[in-house]
Amino acid sequence: MALITIEKVSIIRGGKNVLTDFSASIEPGKITAIIGPNGSGKSTLLGALAGDLPIASGVITIAGRDLKEISVAEQAQLRSVVLQNRNYWLSYTARELIEMGQGPAELARVDAVMQRLDMTRFENQSVTTLSGGEAQRVEIARALILDTPIYLLDEPLSAQDVQSKARIIALLQELRDQGRTVLVIAHIDKSSLSWCDQIIDTLAQ
């Protein structure tokens, strides 16, 4: 049975129909990629799945429950989200930002996740001075220290070099192998998504 269902969902942004009657099912315990060209509504859909953007019509369900009925606190227990936006303006270090607001269980995972993402070199550097790829890894680490059944990531490989891509893919596959559901947005071609189990094309309907 699908863990996440998107049923005839339409989303309007800035007065424009961004998604119209879009439907898809996301299987549990798999890595699913949502693909499509620029502007086809991938990030918008992720925002809706994360409960951050309202839908104009249709229904999104998670584990059989209408997303609209799931409280913000419950959603935080259900999913971790990596967005593309990384406009840091406060001069925290990478480690400080990753650890911010976290409890003992999450803090206990920080060292391992930072090591796996090859972040120790810049852990004490201000996030305002990080490169695009380093800052993206900070956001990925912030999500991966959380223990949730679902991970939603908006183009997590977009700023990464070949080695970092492989590291992130390995971590996402481990989450999948532990039974977590991973959803990534990509606008690369299907041939480079062999590490994903399911591909949903926003243009295919």
Ligand X SMILES: Nc1ncnc2c1ncn2[C@@H]1O[C@H](COP(=O)(O)OP(=O)(O)OP(=O)(O)O)[C@@H](O)[C@H]1O
Residue closer to ligand X by CB (options 94, 184) is: 184
- Which residues 180-199 are close enough to bind ligand X by CB under 6 A? 187
169 is written with which tokens?
């893919």
CB nearer ligand X, residue 143 or residue 145:
143
H-state helical runs in 79-144: 94-99, 104-116, 132-144
43 binds ligand X (CB under 6 A): yes
Residue nearest to ligand X according to CB distances in the complex: 14
> Under the criterion CB under 6 A, does residue 14 sit at the interface with ligand X?
yes
Binding mask 134-173 for ligand X (x = CB under 6 A): ----------------------------------------
Task: Report the C-alpha gap between 152 and 45 in whole angstroms.
Answer: 11
Shortest distance in whole angstroms from residue 132 CB to ligand X? 15
Q: Does 79 participate in binding ligand X (rule CB under 6 A)?
A: no
Q: Which is nearer to ligand X, 14 or 104 (CB)?
A: 14
State whether the Cα torsion 142-147-148-151 is positive or negative.
positive
Does residue 41 belong to the site contacting ligand X (CB under 6 A)? Answer: yes
Q: Which residues contact 163 (CB under 8 A, 6 or more apart)?
A: 118
**Token pair 């699913």: residue:** 32
81 binds ligand X (CB under 6 A): no
Helix (H) or strand (E) holding 183: strand 181-186
Nearest-CA neighbor of 124 among 147, 97, 106, 103?
A: 97
Encoded amino acid at 196, one letter: C
Check if the beta carbon of residue 108 is closer than 8 Å to that of residue 114: no
Q: Does 85 bind ligand X (CB under 6 A)?
A: no
CB of 6 to ligand X, least distance (A): 14
Q: Which residues of the chain form contacts with ligand X (CB under 6 A)? A: 13-14, 18, 36, 38-44, 187
